[in-house]
Amino acid sequence: MRYGARVLFEDVTTTFQTGRRYAITGPNGAGKSTLMKILTGENEPSKGSVTRPKRMGVLSQDQFAFDAFRVIDTVIMGNTGLWAALQEREKLYEKDPMSLTDEDGMRLGELEGIVGDEGGYTAESDAAILLDGLDIPESLHERKMSELQGGQKVRVLLAQALFGNPPALLLDEPTNNLDLDSVHWLQNYLTSYEGCLIVISHDRHFLNEICTHVADIDYQTVIMYTGGYDDMVIAKTQIRASIEAGNAQREKKIEQLNEVIARFSAGTRSSQVASRKKEVERLKTTELAKSNIQRPFIRFQMNRPSGRHPLEVEHLTKSYEADQAIIKNFTASVSRGEKVAIIGRNGAGKTTLLRSLVKNAPGVTDAEFPLDNGKITWGHEVAVGYFAQDHKESIPHDVTLLQFLHSFAPQAAQEELRGLLGQMLFSGDDANKKTDALSGGEAARLIFCKLMLQKPNTLVLDEPTNHLDLESISALTLALQKFDGTVLVVTHDHGLIEEVATRIWNVHGHVVEDFKGPYEEFQADAAKAGR
């Protein structure tokens, strides 16, 4: 498959088998979504062919395509054959009974057979179960899709893909806009799925939990590995290391043989020289194709540490309406070096809590967010680095990347700023690229450049892994692990929470549950309490 003059992958022959769950991996731009579109039939390959099953569950990326339909009907549309039969049956039943022909009666019989075979008599209840698992309350089931928020639409479209237990499921970023509870529900659902699953996701933990195989796009081809994402990374690293070690040994041997050839080529030992030349030819090293994987380097440093207690919260209350509190009477004290993960269902108030906390925070100038009650005190020598959920909106328009960074460090040399951009995979002329042209992932990486330049001692991050590929998420996770300062982070990324957090704030039912311990202990405690 080509994208313009660029080859994404070529001469790919593989079979996705029933009973296996595949991840498609590769960095942003490698061709993951292109391959998925070829598999679904949305795009055609430049060369070759694809054989597909008659019915597939596909996660739609068009959030507005079903705006005119009820939520429950949108889910049922996932089984196109059943939906067509239901619609045709309804039109026939709407006819005057006296005008029904024998042909109509026979067709109604056929349609009833299709409806029965496809589970149409329990379709609405089956759809409701899926919606409930994905946190779409019953009160929304009869609403039009146009009335739902973006995140809710995505979850309905996911339910649509899952509906009717299709023999093949093709899901592109199914965990986007899902909270941890919904992700766990989806993991359990997919783990028990008996068909062929093909999924793209930037959630490493999710892939490790559900996948039996990984189709990795690299070296302009697709290589199949057994196991989850981490298994693929280990196997891929070992294979490349083995080839590199073999090449090193052969190169050493070739060097020795060339020395012999040079020494005796003018002498009488021509037969020995000829045999050595043949040996050199035989030992030619395996040419290593260039990998398209690029890993950013993120390292958060501090100009100076904060005081022992960088943040004190007393009786924080925040409402959007007088009688509807989002956060009620929250009190907490954060110690220097703690890493707090803020979790909860979508709409619970996580971002509201974070925006309340950064009100008047040192180093934050764009976070005006009035409180209803309570007091927030930032401690001695605190310097806050803020990553907003709508981080792209915080970047000014019509300036270059260099100009953006220079505004935060006027004393910095261009070489330093270019070096920082290079760490985050902005190379060459990218430094003069206008901010208006940035993708979501590029905008996130630019904000990380800013944070590394500012060197704050307290990081406040709202969904920092959105729009990042797996390599960037891994780099961010490692950077937060090594950071000596304080971290407050809202995220649905299980791996980041598990590997970074030392404390959990669980937002639910207008309160913030403060658990002083890592996520694994929080889960164990919740399971014991039956939460």
Question: Which residues, 6 or more positions from 101, have their beta carbon under 8 angstroms from its beta carbon?
Answer: none
The per-residue pLDDT of the chain, averaged, comes to: 88
Once rounded to an integer, what is the mean pLDDT over residues 108-119? 92
Given a cut of 80, whether residue 276 has pLDDT beyond it is no
Inter-residue contact 30 to 292 (CB < 8 Å): yes
What is the C-alpha separation between 454 and 300, in angstroms, rounded? 9
Strand partners, 459: 385, 487
CA dist 470 and 27 (Å) reads: 7
pLDDT computed for residue 333 by the predictor: 97
Residue 1 pLDDT greater than 70, yes or no: no
pLDDT at 268 over 60: no
Q: What is the pLDDT of residues 79-109, one digit of tens each?
A: 999 999 999 999 988 888 888 888 888 999 9
Could you give the domains of the chain? Answer: 2-231 (3.40.50.300), 311-529 (3.40.50.300)
Which pLDDT does position 269 carry in this prediction?
A: 61
Per-residue pLDDT band at 23 (split at 50, 70, 90): very high
Q: What's the mean pLDDT in 295-306? A: 94
DSSP 171: E
Cβ atoms 434, 398 nearer than 8 A: yes
200-213 confidence digits (pLDDT tens): 998 999 999 999 99
Question: Nearest CA to 58 among 221, 196, 214?
Answer: 196
> According to the model, what pLDDT value does residue 531 have?
64
Burial 6-35 (b: 16+ CB within 10 A, else e): eebbeebeeebeeeebbbbbbbbbbbbbbb
Q: What is the largest CA-CA distance in the chain?
A: 110
Local confidence band at 288 (pLDDT 50, 70, 90 cut-offs): low
How far apart are the C-alpha atoms of 337 and 458, rounded to whole Å? 9
Contact 200, 23 (CB under 8 A): yes
Which residue is associated with the tokens 């300036």? 399
Average pLDDT over residues 401-405: 94
